Amino acid sequence: MDLMVKGFSPNYRGNPDLERNRSAPIPPDQNCSLFITGLAPTLTTTQLLATIRDVGRVYATHINFPEPDRGHFTCAAKVVFFERCAAERFYERYAGTGFHVAGTTADGSLHVGRVVWNRIRSAEQDVGGRKSRVLLISGPPSIVSEKALKVYFNTKIQYQVDEVRTLRTYAASGLGADKGGGERALVEFRFGSYRCQSEAARMALSREFKEYGVFCDYGEHFLGVRAGSCCFPGEG
């Protein structure tokens, strides 16, 4: 009952007292959060995000997994965009036809999700900015590799992975050995969310590994910007 008083579903599993989880005091036409029900029970973060293309920057995602003992046999997902225009674009694209996520069940059956505006509202963030759930990370391969980064992030944050790609390895110029000179790698790390994930990972890397020549910046977010277009010290 306490959850319902605060505006949450009785099935909500987050912390309703955390500021970021509360409904923003904004009118409905400023809400950037949507809710999708009826998704495949085996849905992954990668499958969810693979369907969200050419819409806009994703601020946060969260998948509610099935709870058969409570009568919930499919997944539901929350998708929050940085900007209202992106949220409207997503809603207009899928509200009428449903949200189709391919390849989400072993038997090949297709689950079509129903898209509605989330009653837990989220306000716009970083309007016109470049913050992203995608990080471009440059540094020595001993630190900047998919395996090493996951081991490190596992000690710092709770996160979901969309995809990790090594974009290239190269020899640095203009950097001493103490600043990561020599062989370097450029890795694109796609988190499930910006909120509490890529933002926290970027802060941690910048704080703890800058002296070792690790550089980190926000990457492209399917908005027509070429992956790896940022220029890091030592590249050239």
Instruction: State pLDDT tens for residues 5-34.
Output: 333 444 545 555 566 568 999 999 999 999
User: For residues 131 and 194, is the Cβ–Cβ distance under 8 A?
Assistant: yes
Query: How many CB atoms within 10 Å of residue 122?
Result: 26
Residue 234 has pLDDT above 50, yes or no: no
User: For residues 134 and 220, is the Cβ–Cβ distance under 8 A?
Assistant: yes
* pLDDT tens-digit series, residues 82-106: 999 999 999 999 999 999 986 666 6
Architecture of domain 134-218: 2-Layer Sandwich (3.30)
Query: Rounded mean pLDDT of 123-149?
Result: 96
173 vs 168: CA distance, rounded Å: 15
Which residues face 228 on adjacent strands? none
Fold type of domain 2-117: Alpha-Beta Plaits (3.30.70)
187 vs 165: CA distance, rounded Å: 6
Q: Report pLDDT for 6.
A: 38
User: For residues 188 and 227, is the Cβ–Cβ distance under 8 A?
Assistant: yes
Locate the domains of the chain by residue range: 2-117, 134-218
Quote the pTM value. 0.81
On the question of a common fold for 2-117 and 134-218, the answer reads: yes
Q: Report pLDDT for 106.
A: 61
Identify the sign of the CA torsion 77, 78, 84, 86. Answer: negative
Q: Report pLDDT for 182.
A: 82
138 vs 206: CA distance, rounded Å: 11
- Which contacts of 163-166 are long-range, i.e. CB under 8 A and separated by 24 or more positions? 163/46, 163/188, 163/190, 164/188, 164/189, 164/190, 165/190, 165/227
* pLDDT tens-digit series, residues 177-228: 555 558 999 999 999 999 999 999 999 999 999 999 999 999 974 433 333 3
